[in-house]
């Protein structure tokens, strides 16, 4: 008699495993632990074999019957259905298969941009060499060869990141029963050491007034000049300025204007709030006059429809600061002045810079952390820039 859905559902475990027969070789194996497993017995070339079709209720009765019927068709065609399953098992153990499964399970916690970045690294630097290899057969020297190819082109930091991705893939594979060890852990000490971190060029506080004066005299494109000033006043990264869009700005006509950058826009994948000083709001008003119909603050006829990555940097070169100041270095200028002023807590500065060090201050990052204090600090900074540019030195010990 064929099984019914109700019969399968109501099957109870016993002291020993037992079978509930369906039809044409399909049956349900009920274990003492309560598992209900689909099995199919068949003969091929005079040998008796058994196929496993999965666990109820991951596989419903009608699905188990479909798999049985498919297996019977293969047998009738002179093919051993277990041969196909062996091939499928081999494919499931390939490094690329496990890596893509790891990526699919991990990307839910990432931004879309970062997920694409990680997969792109694997597709470019790992899959061509290791993709078709059994993940359990990959030894440390084999993985090291792949990582050293990345190092050979001078991408030392990238090599380390890719090694870390591979380590997570092997750890995932261990948990899934696809491999028994993580060779990435064994090659850690064999990797090249990264070069000492180079700080982006930035003028010293004593040179800052001359730089601001030169920036004020810049006679090039007004949009570029406004972009530089806006970046300086808000302490954001070049990328964050370039792609700034009008929907990100809030309460511009109030006493608490705000720039809200989404997690997807930030290097550390966390929402970031920038309290806007009065001078930054004035820049926004001028930008709206220059490009009233653009969704971006700094539109341009480029592939991304915004000013290019080097637009602001080349302007800095034009005013005479080649190799002495960079756009990213403007953040360093602000950090140095604010910290040396003695008026503001270092945590406020680090939060405004959206640095990861803020994790040491609070276990969970809060985009609005120190917002009131940072608003006061950025207004002080904007006023400082105005006075230094006008030749009026700011006394560091003045009160807030």
State both tokens at 361.
């201050």
Between 329 and 365, the more confident residue is 329
Three-class SS of residue 306?
strand
Rounded-to-integer distance, Cα 39 and Cα 303, Å: 57
Provide DSSP, 59-111.
S-HHHHHHHHHHHHHHHHTT--HHHHHHHHHHHHTBHHHHHHHHHHHHGGGS-
Q: Of these residues, 237, 265, 332, 375, which one is catalytic? A: 237
Q: Which of 150-159, 219-228, 305-314 has the lowest mean pLDDT?
A: 150-159
pLDDT above 60 (res 129): yes
| The predicted structure's pLDDT at residue 84 | 56
Query: pLDDT per residue over 232-287, tens digit each?
Result: 999 999 999 999 999 999 999 999 999 999 878 886 667 889 999 999 999 999 99
Contact between residue 331 and residue 353 where contact means Cβ atoms under 8 Å apart: yes
Rounded-to-integer distance, Cα 150 and Cα 271, Å: 32
Q: Of these residues, 18, 114, 317, 365, which one is catalytic? A: 365
Q: What is the CATH number of domain 5-81?
A: 3.30.160.390
Q: Of these residues, 85, 86, 267, 362, which one is catalytic? A: 267
pLDDT above 60 (res 384): yes
Three-class SS of residue 182?
coil
Share of the chain above pLDDT 70, in %: 90
pLDDT above 80 (res 1): no
Q: What is the mean pLDDT of residues 193-201?
A: 63
| The predicted structure's pLDDT at residue 371 | 92
| The predicted structure's pLDDT at residue 86 | 56
Q: Of these residues, 65, 160, 242, 331, which one is catalytic? A: 331
Q: What is the mean pLDDT of residues 171-198?
A: 84
**Residue carrying the six token digits 């990555």:** 309
- What residue spans of 126-155 are helical by DSSP H? 127-130, 140-152
Q: Who contacts 320 (Cβ-Cβ below 8 Å, separation ≥6)?
A: 214
Q: What is the mean pLDDT of residues 320-334?
A: 91
pLDDT above 80 (res 356): no
pLDDT above 60 (res 199): no
At 44, is the pLDDT very low, low, confident or very high (cuts 50, 70, 90)?
Answer: confident
| The predicted structure's pLDDT at residue 218 | 92
Between 202 and 68, the more confident residue is 68
Whether residue 365 lies in the annotated active site:
yes
Q: Of these residues, 72, 355, 373, 387, which one is catalytic? A: 355
Rounded-to-integer distance, Cα 165 and Cα 201, Å: 31
Whether residue 114 lies in the annotated active site:
no
Domain 208-389: CATH superfamily is: Intergrase catalytic core (1.10.443.10)
Whether residue 331 lies in the annotated active site:
yes
Share of the chain above pLDDT 90, in %: 55
Q: Of these residues, 270, 328, 373, 387, which one is catalytic? A: 328
Beta-carbon count within 10 A of 27 CB: 20
Global pTM value? 0.52
State both tokens at 5.
């859905």
Q: What is the mean pLDDT of residues 113-128?
A: 90
At 359, is the pLDDT very low, low, confident or very high (cuts 50, 70, 90)?
Answer: very low
pLDDT above 90 (res 360): no
Query: pLDDT per residue over 282-292, tens digit each?
Result: 999 999 999 99
Q: What is the mean pLDDT of residues 310-334?
A: 92
Provide DSSP, 370-398.
THHHHHHHHHHHHHHHHHHHTT-PPPTT-
Q: What is the CATH number of domain 95-190?
A: 1.10.150.130
Which range is most confident: 35-39, 109-113, 194-198?
A: 35-39
pLDDT above 70 (res 394): no
At 320, is the pLDDT very low, low, confident or very high (cuts 50, 70, 90)?
Answer: very high
Parts of the chain belonging to CATH 1.10.443.10? 208-389
pLDDT above 60 (res 308): yes
Q: What is the mean pLDDT of residues 114-141?
A: 91
Parts of the chain belonging to CATH 3.30.160.390? 5-81
Rounded-to-integer distance, Cα 27 and Cα 87, Å: 24
Per-chain mean pLDDT for the chain: 87
Parts of the chain belonging to CATH 1.10.150.130? 95-190
Query: pLDDT per residue over 74-115, tens digit each?
Result: 888 888 887 655 555 568 889 999 999 999 999 988 888 788
Q: What is the mean pLDDT of residues 140-151?
A: 92
Q: What is the mean pLDDT of residues 295-315?
A: 93
Whether residue 132 lies in the annotated active site:
no
């Amino acid at each position: 008699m064929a099984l019914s859905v109700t019969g399968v559902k109501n099957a109870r475990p016993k002291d020993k495993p037992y079978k509930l027969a369906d039809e044409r070789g399909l049956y349900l194996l009920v274990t003492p632990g309560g598992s209900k497993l689909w099995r199919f017995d068949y003969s091929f070339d005079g040998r008796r074999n058994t196929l496993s079709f999965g666990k109820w209720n991951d596989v419903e009765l009608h699905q188990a019957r479909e798999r049985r019927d498919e297996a019977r068709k293969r047998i009738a065609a002179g093919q051993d259905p277990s041969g196909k399953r062996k091939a499928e098992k081999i494919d499931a153990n390939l490094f690329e298969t496990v890596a893509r499964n790891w990526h699919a399970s991990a990307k839910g916690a990432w931004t879309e941009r970062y997920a694409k970045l990680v997969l792109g690294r694997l597709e470019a630097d790992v899959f061509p060499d290791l993709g078709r290899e059994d993940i359990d057969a990959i030894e440390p020297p084999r993985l090291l060869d792949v990582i050293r190819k990345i190092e050979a082109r001078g991408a030392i930091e990238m090599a380390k990141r890719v090694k870390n991705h591979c380590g997570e893939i092997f750890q995932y594979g261990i948990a899934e029963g696809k491999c028994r060890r993580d060779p990435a852990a064994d090659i850690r000490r064999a990797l090249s050491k990264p070069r000492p971190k180079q700080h982006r060029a930035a003028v010293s506080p004593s040179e800052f007034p001359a730089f601001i004066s030169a920036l004020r005299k810049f006679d090039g494109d007004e949009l570029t000049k406004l972009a530089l000033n806006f970046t300086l006043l808000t302490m954001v990264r070049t990328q964050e300025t370039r792609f700034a869009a009008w929907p990100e700005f809030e309460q511009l006509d109030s006493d608490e204007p705000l720039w809200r950058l989404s997690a997807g826009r930030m290097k550390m994948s966390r929402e970031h709030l920038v309290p806007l000083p009065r001078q930054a709001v004035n820049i926004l008003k001028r930008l709206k006059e220059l490009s009233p119909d653009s969704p971006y603050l700094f539109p341009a006829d480029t592939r991304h429809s915004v000013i290019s990555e080097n637009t602001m940097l080349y302007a800095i070169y034009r005013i005479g600061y080649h190799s002495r100041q960079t756009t990213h270095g403007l953040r360093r200028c602000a950090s140095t002045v604010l910290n040396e002023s003695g008026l503001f807590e270092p945590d406020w500065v680090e939060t405004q810079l959206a640095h990861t060090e803020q994790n040491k201050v609070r276990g969970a990052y809060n985009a609005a952390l120190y917002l009131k204090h940072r608003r006061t600090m950025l207004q002080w900074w904007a006023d400082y820039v105005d006075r230094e540019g006008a030749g009026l030195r700011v006394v560091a010990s003045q009160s807030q």
